[in-house]
Amino acid sequence: MNKNSEQIVKLAQQVLNIEAEEILKASKSISNNFTQVVNEIFESRGRIVVSGMGKSGHIARKIASTFASTGTPAFFMHPGEASHGDLGMIMKEDIVIFFSNSGQSDELISILPTIKRIGAKIISISGNPNSDLAKQSNIHISAAVTKEACPLGLAPTASSTVSLALGDAIALCVLDLREFTAEDFAKSHPGGNLGNNILIKVKDIMRIGQKIPSINMKSSLKHAIEEISNKKVGFTAIVDNENKLMGILTDGDLRRALLNKRNIDSSIEECMTKNPITLNGSEMAVEAVNIMEKFKVNCFLITDDNKKVIGMLNINDLFESKVI
């Protein structure tokens, strides 16, 4: 690596470290103002109007999009266009969120009186709690940083990142209060791979019939090894004569059985894991991913209301269907 490359890597790491540190500082400064903002948005019967000028405007556009895609009606309003007619989009029931590092942007300050006359609530996220914008807002959240990541200390970098992170945090806290689900998310993302993949349910991609590894509970460990080897999924279901799930034997169970001096003729009932985690097939596939991560497993059996095995799903199926 030449000297120039080393300098580039060092500066890149410095930028990322500074921005990460400023976000962590912001997280420790979350206060009642933040909670009040989340509750106001959650309880609002109007829309969220998000605005900002320059780079703060780009942040505002992104946050408006995040709100809209997570169950909170929102749109971006350009402050320069607002004074030329776009203020007519704002209604009394709405909440206006302004992003501004300085809190002194003329384009924002000039439209505050009209918004106040309309009666909409004003929330500001800025780096200056003593700014005109902060003072005239119903609620202000500080996005102040101690240092920009720009080597010149001029270009908004860490301050923009903190504002973006705070906006995301607000939107996702509101999402949580709304009990917004993956299926709800999919409804607003019907196009493209994102929407298609989120809409996939476990029953749409699970393996069925002869593809399900399964042996009778009266079988031996030898039969389990053969089934696991033949189906090549790292486990087998253990069922009774009516195909009701009694347990599961994984590669891990097999190793533990051998370490406990079980032989291949040992009863499978002595080696299996009882009451394994199962799905019913109606879950969204993305929910299966979350369950896998939570319980540190990479496969599931799918059962019906009578606990009969009707399918199986492993992490490879999720990869192949592009859910992950």
* pLDDT tens-digit series, residues 53-73: 999 999 999 999 999 988 899
Please determine, for residue 213, whether its predicted confidence score (pLDDT) is greater than 90. yes
Q: What is the mean pLDDT of residues 66-83?
A: 90
Percent of the chain with pLDDT strictly greater than 90: 70
Domain of 225, CATH number, reads 3.10.580.10
Cα 24 from chain centroid (whole Å): 19
User: pLDDT band at residue 215, thresholds of 50, 70 and 90?
Assistant: very high
Residue 314 lies in a domain: yes
User: pLDDT value at position 188?
Assistant: 61
pLDDT in tens, 139-159: 999 999 999 998 887 788 999
User: pLDDT value at position 150?
Assistant: 87
End residue of a domain, out of 120, 148, 180 = 180
31 and 171 in a single domain? The answer is yes
User: pLDDT band at residue 109, thresholds of 50, 70 and 90?
Assistant: very high
206 and 169 in a single domain? The answer is no
User: pLDDT value at position 323?
Assistant: 78
Q: What is the mean pLDDT of residues 82-111?
A: 92
Domain of 31, CATH number, reads 3.40.50.10490
What residues contact 283, with CB distance under 8 A and at least 6 apart?
201, 202
Q: Which residues of 226-260 are buried (b: 16+ CB within 10 A; e: fewer)?
A: ebbeebebbbbbbbeeebebbbbbbeebbeebeee
The per-residue DSSP string of 22-71 comes to: HHHHHHHT--HHHHHHHHHHHH-SS-EEEEESTHHHHHHHHHHHHHHHTT
User: pLDDT value at position 186?
Assistant: 61
Please determine, for residue 3, whether its predicted confidence score (pLDDT) is greater than 70. no
101 and 236 in a single domain? The answer is no
Mean pLDDT, all residues of the chain = 90
